[in-house]
Amino acid sequence: MGNSRDKPFILVSSVTYAMKSRDLLFKQGIKAYVERVPPTASSGCGYGVYVPQGADEAERLLKENGIKVLGRTSWGEPL
């Protein structure tokens, strides 16, 4: 953690929810990008939303808007 390779990801249940999450966050002024992550039991289909800044706020907004968040990870950390 803490190096330039760390990328905060919010894991969601499908690519559809990843795209909805990205759009919702952009409307709230938070940059977010849909990216593929290695599929695991916790990450489902293997898609997440990369949030360069404000991951805590982004996760809160998603939950408040009915998007099920499966968890969070960072690129470089095991899923």
* Sign of the CA dihedral with 6 first, then 68, 27, and 47 last: positive
pLDDT digits (tens, 9 = 90+) for 20-54: 999 999 999 999 999 987 665 555 567 889 999 99
Q: Which residue has the tokens 């800044």?
A: 53
Q: pTM score > 0.85 for this model?
A: no
Cα dihedral: 40, 14, 67, 51 (round 10): 70
